[in-house]
Amino acid sequence: MSFNYFDLAMLCSQGNMHRYSDLGYNLACILTFPSAQRQGFGKFLISFSYELSKKEEKVGSPEKPLSDLGAVSYKSYWASTLLVLLRSFPGQQVSIMDLTKMTSILADDVAATLQMLGLLQRIDDTAVLCCPPDVIDALIEKYPHNSGVPVDPSQLHWAPLYVTDPRKDKWSIKAKKDGSDVS
Amino acid sequence: MKKKSKSSAPANAGQTSAKKQKKENDKVVDGVELVSSGGHPLSIGHNIMVRYRDGSHRTAKVIERSSCIENAAITWQYYVHYHQFNRRMDEWIDVSRIVATEGVIVEDDHHGHAKSVTHSAEHSSSENANDEAADHHRAQGEVNSAPSIGGSQVTTIAELGYDEHEGLDEASLLEHEEITKVKNIRNVVFGKYKMECWYFSPFPKEFHPKGPVDCLYFCEFTFRFFRTKNELVRYQSHANLPRHPPGNEIYRDSRVSMFELDGAVEKIYCQNLCYFAKLFLDHKVYMVVFLFIVKSNWITVQTLYWDVDPFLFYVLCTFDDRGFHPVGFFSKEK
């Protein structure tokens, strides 16, 4: 009987690895213990997961579905990260794909966040990213960036376990082409 | 209302055979007639008005009930779910906290924001002391005199209408809720903190032999758990107790450090971590749980398997001169 269990378990776990391996998740499950909540550790964990993705040179996204508290933390992280980037961005035009490359945040998540912030406008059936400085500053006050514990990338000593061929890996940043919706 | 007493222990939520047991218990106690008061017991699924932890009145649904007998009188306790609130707020309440049992009108449980309650308080709300105790219970958070942060904020977070279980079909969702509807562990002690648990976690039967237990004791360095404080103290008194998580420390700054663990290498640590984490996460899809149930004549074998092998775990710790204290973690597929 125990032999059967073992067999089944092995089968399931292997099937599982195949099922998930190429979905582009950079995080499966996240928890800040209740004793340490409200101190910025949740945001640190999220930020850390994207730092690992940057090291892997991949884009990533949390595994869905998110819990209610998880969704709140992620939305806040995406918003503050993108806003800081947009405020200090030197050029005139930026595409969603550029933002994805700089932050390792999945393009869908970037688009959803910009839409939530009200920065995407529709002109002639094309989504246009429109961010006047005063709007950005107002939004940054709403989504403060430096709250809690920041991640210092220079203190991270880590290399990815498996190196994939960037030409074959659709989640690799190098495989990304420039996006088309700009301004 | 028919006066009938049910099994005295709260039904154990972890068993899929719970229904069967309930039936048997009903049979056993069918003949027993005891005096109970005030129209109790309420039936399961009944909507009632309850004084909430913060003193306000909220509608709730009876999920489970249990009775105990004192001086030939039955006192009932109910496990209730507050409408429009996340399941983490479900709790056992005394009869004294029930404000109204009839005429409670409930609007859309899942996404509604307006909550209309036409019925005024029937019973006087004189048990203020009791109420405050319930409030404090959540807010107390820790055993020692560290700043009060222990989960007190969650009382204000209502359900956001976000579908946490998308991707699950109706049947498996119902099954998930049936198994996990009643929390089996009420509190955990972790390091210097005592925390109220949010959700069911599939601990082995030995850790809650007679229904929900009040407290489990976790070692913060190895995540091993014990039923009594003495066991924990004895375990931690070993000289070679590690003071940090296993695995590689891949990040350290002035406040925190991060450890990377391979689920296939540090299996026991990661599985214990999963047991702990499940107390605060309401997902069966987050951790892959394999539940094999073999039913033959009167025997139910249940094997639980945390599949940690395909994951890397990243444990975030703060540190002081006593060691590294985990404050959170995330997992990631390899």
Of B167, B196, B256, the CB nearest to A44: B256
**Interchain contact A19–B (C-beta under 8 A):** no
Mean pLDDT, residues A113-131 taken together:
87
Rg over CA atoms, chain B: 22
How would residue A20 be classed by pLDDT, with cut points 50, 70 and 90? very low
Provide the token pair at A171.
């989640």
Helix (H) or strand (E) holding A32: strand A29-32
Closest C-alpha among B107, B119, B138 to residue B57: B119
Residues across chain B: 334
pLDDT of residue B13: 40
Predicted confidence (pLDDT) per residue in A134-154, tens digit = 999 999 998 988 777 899 999
Closest C-alpha among B80, B92, B242, B250 to residue A161: B250
Could you report the predicted ipTM of this complex, rounded to two decimals? 0.85
pLDDT of residue B77: 86
Res. A173: pLDDT tops 60: yes
How would residue A93 be classed by pLDDT, with cut points 50, 70 and 90? confident
Closest C-alpha among B232, B233, B228, B260 to residue B244: B260
Contacts with A, B 294-333, CB within 8 Å = 294, 303, 305, 307, 309-312, 314, 316, 318, 326-333
Q: Do residue A65 and residue B283 have CB atoms under 8 angstroms apart?
A: yes
Q: Which residue pairs from A115-123 have beta carbons closer than 8 angstroms and sit at least 24 positions apart in sequence?
A: A116/A75, A116/A79, A117/A79, A117/A82, A117/A83, A119/A86
Query: Is the pTM above the cut of 0.80?
Result: no
Res. B123: pLDDT tops 60: no
Position with higher pLDDT, B322 vs B3: B322
In the three-class reduction of DSSP (H, G, I as helix; E, B as strand; rest coil), residue B1 is classed as coil
Res. B276: pLDDT tops 80: yes
Closest C-alpha among A105, A16, A51 to residue B316: A51
User: What is the DSSP secondary structure assignment for residue B49, as one 8-state letter?
Assistant: E
What percentage of chain B has pLDDT greater than the value 70? 60
Contacts with B, A 140-159, CB within 8 Å = 149, 151-152, 155-158
Q: Which residues of B touch A16 (CB under 8 A)?
A: 288, 307, 310
Q: Active site includes A141?
A: no
Q: Measuring CA to CA, how many Å separate B311 from each of A61, B8, B123?
A: 16, 42, 53
Provide the token pair at A166.
């960037």
How would residue A124 be classed by pLDDT, with cut points 50, 70 and 90? confident
pLDDT of residue A46: 95
Q: Do residue A48 and residue B252 have CB atoms under 8 angstroms apart?
A: no
Are A151 and A48 in contact by the 8 Å Cβ rule? The answer is yes
Closest C-alpha among B196, B190, B235 to residue B325: B190
The residue whose two tokens read 């109220």 is B196
Contacts with A, B 17-76, CB within 8 Å = none
Res. B69: pLDDT tops 70: yes
CB pairs under 8 A between A and B: 161
Are B158 and B111 in contact by the 8 Å Cβ rule? The answer is no
Mean pLDDT: which of A87-101, B6-20, B119-133 is highest? A87-101
Q: Which residues of B touch A156 (CB under 8 A)?
A: 250-251, 258
What percentage of chain A has pLDDT greater than the value 70? 81
In the three-class reduction of DSSP (H, G, I as helix; E, B as strand; rest coil), residue A169 is classed as coil
CA distance A129 to chain B (A): 27
Interface test with B, best of A19, A37, A77 (most B CBs within 10 A): A37
Helix (H) or strand (E) holding B48: strand B47-51
Phi, psi at B228, each rounded to 5°: -125, 160
**How many whole angstroms separate alpha carbon A149 and alpha carbon B143?**
25
Q: What is the DSSP string of B250-272?
A: EEE-SSEEEEEEETTTSHHHHHH
**How many whole angstroms separate alpha carbon B123 and alpha carbon B97?**
10
**How many whole angstroms separate alpha carbon A165 and alpha carbon A169?**
6
User: What is the DSSP secondary structure assignment for residue A161, as one 8-state letter?
Assistant: S
Nearest residue of A to residue B168, measured between CA atoms: A65
Nearest residue of B to residue A151, measured between CA atoms: B253
In the three-class reduction of DSSP (H, G, I as helix; E, B as strand; rest coil), residue A81 is classed as helix
Phi, psi at B132, each rounded to 5°: -60, -35
pLDDT of residue A42: 93
How would residue B109 be classed by pLDDT, with cut points 50, 70 and 90? low
Provide the token pair at B332.
């990631």
Interface test with A, best of B251, B253, B287, B334 (most A CBs within 10 A): B251
Closest C-alpha among B2, B106, B31, B20 to residue B61: B106
pLDDT of residue B137: 41
Q: Which residues of A touch B329 (CB under 8 A)?
A: 30-31, 45
Q: Do residue A155 and residue B328 have CB atoms under 8 angstroms apart?
A: no
pLDDT of residue B106: 81
Mean pLDDT, residues A130-137 taken together:
89
The residue whose two tokens read 């055979």 is B17
Could you say which of A51, A56, A57, A63 is catalytic? Answer: A63
**Interchain contact B117–A (C-beta under 8 A):** no
Phi, psi at A53, each rounded to 5°: -60, -40
